Amino acid sequence: MKELRWTSIALAALALGLSGAAIAQSSRYDALANAAFEKDYPTPETSRMLQEELLFQRATQAYLWALPAINIWAMKEGSEKVFGGGYNVLPVWKERIKASTQVTTPNSDVVYAMGYLDLKKDGPIVVEAPAGVQGILDDFFQRPLVGPTTEGRTWTGDVGLAGPDKGKGGTYVLLPPDYKGEPPKGSLPKGAFVYRSRTYNVFLFWRTFFTDPKDLSKPNAQIAATRIYPLGQKASARPMQFPDANGKPADLLFPRDASYFDMMSRFIDSEYVDPSDLDMRGFLHTIGIEKGKPFSPSPEMRSLLERAAQTGFKISKVVIADMVVKEPGGKYYADRQWVNVFAGEDTSFQSSRTYTNFEQRSGYFTSAYSASPGMVKNIVNAGAKYPVTSRDKDGNFLDGGQSYTLHLPPNIPAKNFWSATVYDGTTASGLDNGQSHPSLNQMDKPVQNPDGSTNLYFGPTAPAGKEKNWLRTVPGKGYFVILRLYSPEKAFFDQTWKPGDIEKVK
């Protein structure tokens, strides 16, 4: 297989900032559209060129389609490499997650625990969730597990305040996708909430809160009360392990090269065949990935996959930077730069019910993991909201070598707490800025202005006397900021309170 000449031409044109019309006039698209056929059949050169193009397109679209799955699969493999695997292993960032752990958009202002369950290997799993935990149960396409219907609603994914246990703690039974019927009577723990997964693998994500950053004993004790075991095997289950995840920093990021497709093959081999995925699995078949068969691309094919992965990743970044904002509701405020990554208020990105919004979906999962109704629905005094921006007031991308300010008016509408975090513009991991955590939160007690408002500062050096309100940035690197509001209040939703834009210091 020869070099992908036409793909290279198009990417070069994009890099030069040429318009769509200019690119269409360039060699690649004309060559594809006008590829030679003789007596109704393709010439050998046409066949070669169009086969390469088909493989490249299938691989690039497969990269984007699989982002939610490979993002979380990379987390599973990275975690198990460092901490070991099994239903009983629940790594905890006991001193809050730091930038040394590489993972998309972590929150440094809560105590995290993240586990990976295998319902194929272990069968139905019981999770005893402690009181005070705000958690999520997602399948490996990061879709919330579907639970029981009570109080006139069907519960999906959320555990804790936004879930059926209402923050008091509860027992959850997780069933695999091919489990038939209901568990036998008498086998379920009393009062258990039964959830079903569409994949064998399940992501368990706990967050607990603190009021004093110097004393994290309570949130750690809450997580340590978690118990996980196969259904009916509590007495014989392996003892729980809670390794300190900051003690051995892990790389939980998904690849941006051809190894993405190796990882995809391992994921496909491990998983249930969902009939709704058969079309996209056909895309994978074209590039050599099929359940139960070895994935062994030739050197030429691997070279093509390398380019497809790099292109798919860059497309995902263009989507989040320039396309999501053009979707309905893609900005929180018409006059500001804050982006709403869950504009459709739907964890499946199907709010219109007539299509899946792949722009919002790939834009989100290239930069984040996990989803639940509590994150996406507009619920006053519950759940959370995540306004995000990579641009300053003037619409320019944030530059780690420049200094900026952010004004937050008085009475920030977060019943639980608020925080601001800086993230690496490429990996979306916490920005490795040399500070203990790349975030500021309400519990840090940043200095307020006389009117009760708060100014935050971003830049490579702190303004004199403003160190307590400053987040360091890294010259030569772009970054973005997430403003988290836990249990957002009415003033956020009716927009009687609005954050300022991030403004460059003149």
Residue 432 sits in a domain of what CATH number? 2.60.120.600
CB-based contacts of 354: which residues, under 8 Å, 6+ apart? none
Residue 193 within any structural domain of the chain: yes
Q: Which residue has the higher pLDDT, 20 or 98?
A: 98
User: In this predicted structure, what is the pLDDT of residue 116?
Assistant: 98
The domain tally of the chain equals 3
Rounded CA-CA distance 242/306 in Å is: 37
Q: Are residues 349 and 210 in the same domain?
A: no
User: In this predicted structure, what is the pLDDT of residue 14?
Assistant: 44
Lookup: tokens for 352: 């219109």
3-state secondary structure of 389: strand
Whether the per-residue pLDDT at 492 is higher than 70: the answer is yes
Residue 221 within any structural domain of the chain: yes
Whether the per-residue pLDDT at 78 is higher than 60: the answer is yes
Residue 56: other Cβ atoms inside 10 A? 19
Rounded CA-CA distance 397/167 in Å is: 39
Residue 235 within any structural domain of the chain: no
The H-or-E segment that residue 219 falls in is helix 217-224
Q: Dump the DSSP string for 98-125.
A: -TTSB-SS--TTSEEEEEEEEHHHH-SE
Q: Are residues 161 and 291 in the same domain?
A: no
Q: Are residues 124 and 268 in the same domain?
A: no
Rounded CA-CA distance 498/440 in Å is: 18
Q: Beta strands 193-196 and 170-175: pairing type? A: parallel
pLDDT, mean of residues 358-366: 92
User: In this predicted structure, what is the pLDDT of residue 84?
Assistant: 97
Nearest to 421 by CA among 135, 112, 209, 105: 105
Query: Distances in Å between the alpha carbon of 336 and those of 155, 388, 402, 454, 485?
Result: 34, 11, 20, 18, 17
Domain containing residue 447: 327-504
Rounded CA-CA distance 272/196 in Å is: 13
pLDDT, mean of residues 54-77: 97
Using left for φ > 0, alpha for ψ between -120 and 50, and beta otherwise, residue 110 falls in beta
Dihedral angle sign, alpha carbons of residues 387, 390, 393, 395: negative
Whether the per-residue pLDDT at 449 is higher than 60: the answer is yes
pLDDT, mean of residues 146-172: 89
pLDDT, mean of residues 130-144: 95
User: In this predicted structure, what is the pLDDT of residue 368?
Assistant: 93
- For tokens 């390398």, what's the residue? 306
pLDDT, mean of residues 383-392: 93
User: In this predicted structure, what is the pLDDT of residue 4?
Assistant: 45
Instruction: Please tell me the chain's helix, strand, coil percentages from 3-state DSSP, rounded to the nearest 5.
Output: 30, 25, 50
Lookup: tokens for 419: 């925080």
Query: Distances in Å between the alpha carbon of 492 and those of 113, 248, 387, 413?
Result: 29, 38, 11, 6
Mean pLDDT, the chain, integer? 92
Q: Which residue has the higher pLDDT, 117 or 9?
A: 117
Residue 126 within any structural domain of the chain: yes
User: In this predicted structure, what is the pLDDT of residue 64?
Assistant: 96
User: In this predicted structure, what is the pLDDT of residue 352?
Assistant: 75
Q: Are residues 411 and 340 in the same domain?
A: yes
Whether the per-residue pLDDT at 23 is higher than 60: the answer is no
Q: Are residues 388 and 427 in the same domain?
A: yes
Rounded CA-CA distance 61/359 in Å is: 12
Rounded CA-CA distance 377/383 in Å is: 8
User: In this predicted structure, what is the pLDDT of residue 7?
Assistant: 47
Whether the per-residue pLDDT at 217 is higher than 90: the answer is yes
Whether the per-residue pLDDT at 26 is higher than 80: the answer is no
Q: Are residues 154 and 275 in the same domain?
A: no
Query: Distances in Å between the alpha carbon of 453 and those of 336, 356, 407?
Result: 18, 40, 7
Q: Are residues 292 and 374 in the same domain?
A: no
pTM of the predicted model as reported, rounded to 2 decimal places:
0.91
Residue 24 within any structural domain of the chain: yes
Q: Are residues 128 and 190 in the same domain?
A: yes
Residue 248 within any structural domain of the chain: no
pLDDT, mean of residues 190-218: 95
Q: Are residues 199 and 342 in the same domain?
A: no
Question: Residues 300-330, buried b or exposed e (16+ Cβ, 10 A)?
Answer: ebbbbbbbbbbbbbebbbebbbeebbebeeb
The H-or-E segment that residue 207 falls in is strand 201-208
pLDDT, mean of residues 119-140: 96
User: In this predicted structure, what is the pLDDT of residue 25?
Assistant: 52
The H-or-E segment that residue 266 falls in is helix 259-270
Question: Among the listed ranges 4-13, 66-75, 170-179, which one has the minimum average pLDDT value?
Answer: 4-13
Q: Beta strands 470-472 and 454-459: pairing type? A: parallel
Q: Are residues 490 and 399 in the same domain?
A: yes
The Cα angle at residue 259 between residues 308 and 14, in degrees rounded to 5? 25
Q: Are residues 362 and 280 in the same domain?
A: no
What percentage of the chain carries pLDDT values higher than 90?
81
Band of pLDDT at residue 314, cut at 50, 70 and 90: very high
Nearest to 392 by CA among 374, 382, 406: 406
- For tokens 């935990």, what's the residue? 133
User: In this predicted structure, what is the pLDDT of residue 475?
Assistant: 97
Band of pLDDT at residue 20, cut at 50, 70 and 90: low
Whether the per-residue pLDDT at 29 is higher than 80: the answer is yes
The CATH number of whichever domain residue 34 belongs to comes to 1.10.3360
For the chain, helix (H) and strand (E) counts, in that order, are 13, 22
Q: Are residues 91 and 176 in the same domain?
A: yes
Residue 185 near residue 121, CB atoms below 8 Å: no
Sheet holding 125-129, edge to edge: 153-156, 146-150, 193-196, 170-175, 125-129, 227-230
Give the residues across from 146 on adjacent strands: 156, 196
Q: Which residue has the higher pLDDT, 152 or 30?
A: 30
pLDDT, mean of residues 140-164: 90
User: In this predicted structure, what is the pLDDT of residue 3?
Assistant: 45
